[in-house]
Amino acid sequence: DSGVTQTPKHLITATGQRVTLRCSPRSGDLSVYWYQQSLDQGLQFLIQYYNGEERAKGNILERFSAQQFPDLHSELNLSSLELGDSALYFCASSRTGGTVDTQYFGPGTRLTVL
Amino acid sequence: AQSVSQHNHHVILSEAASLELGCNYSYGGTVNLFWYVQYPGQHLQLLLKYFSGDPLVKGIKGFEAEFIKSKFSFNLRKPSVQWSDTAEYFCAVNARSGNTGKLIFGQGTTLQVKP
């Protein structure tokens, strides 16, 4: 158990819908990262937050957005869902969000878009 | 842009065989390097990491990796694999130049160890 929690574990929804994935970082970690794992794209970095502020952005679609709240949990919002958005979404956390940090990953949320 | 290449997509070994998984990265600056493992149905776990110093790093469960700067490589090794090493292995890099720990991952290598 890494100490990073993600809910829900599984999510099945239809095209065009909107979902919210939630992540709680390890105690004491200030930074949260979101990654998408799919068969064709592999593991891709989406976005990073540090203490409520966006720090880095990767290959995140405009239909996707995220935020980190004052209690440091983070939510990833996916809207106008398409079949290709079906993937495993991982959240990771680290102490400072800098380059010498180690990231600890959560169990992931498996999203299926039908 | 940074990229990571893992040459072996699927490796099948018998127990007690030696393992070497290749990882090459593309980036002109200084990097931090990682190997993560994902056991079936589980989350990613850190096996080992290299930030600086001795290029031969030892990780958990008997794994080690060697950073060869001239070859932009960070290959993972284990002298004798066990059935419980069956998992997917990911190499990842982080560029030291930016103020972010974001990781760029390779495509992953699926290791199947036959008992």
Q: Which of B49, B103, B108 sits opposite A45 (nearest CB)?
A: B103
Predicted pLDDT at B66: 97
Under a CB-based contact definition with an 8 Å cutoff, are residues A12 and A112 in contact? yes
Question: Percent of chain A, pLDDT > 70?
Answer: 100
Q: Chain A residues with CB inside 8 Å of B103's CB?
A: 33, 35, 45, 103
Q: How far is it, in rounded angstroms, from Cα B28 to Cα B34? A: 17
Give the residue carrying structure tokens 């809207």: A79
- Please report residues of A whose CB lies closer than 8 A to that of B32: 99-100
Instruction: Decide if B2 touches A, using CB distance below 8 A.
Output: no
The pLDDT of residue B42 is 86
pLDDT the model gives residue B27: 87
pLDDT band at A7 (very low <50, low <70, confident <90, very high): very high
- Please answer whether residues A106 and A96 qualify as being in contact, where contact means their C-beta atoms are separated by less than 8 angstroms: no
pLDDT given at position A69: 97
Residue A20 confidence class, pLDDT cut points 50, 70, 90 = very high
- Nearest by CB to residue A105, choosing from B43, B98, B107, is B43
Chain B residues touching residue A35 (CB < 8 angstroms): 103, 105
Q: Does the distance separating the beta carbons of A48 and B108 come in below 8 Å?
A: no
pLDDT tens for A35-92 read 999 988 889 999 999 999 999 999 899 999 999 999 999 999 999 999 999 999 999 9
Q: What is the mean pLDDT of each run of 10 residues along chain B (115 residues)?
A: 89 97 91 94 92 94 96 96 96 85 93 95
Mutate to test the interface with A, among B34, B37, B43 (most CBs of A within 10 A): B43
User: Are B64 and B58 contacting, i.e. CB atoms less than 8 angstroms apart?
Assistant: yes
Q: What is the pLDDT of residue B108?
A: 95
* Encoded tokens for B115: 């008992």
Do A92 and A104 form a contact (C-beta atoms < 8 A)?
yes
What span, in angstroms and rounded, lies between the C-alpha atoms of B68 and B55? 7
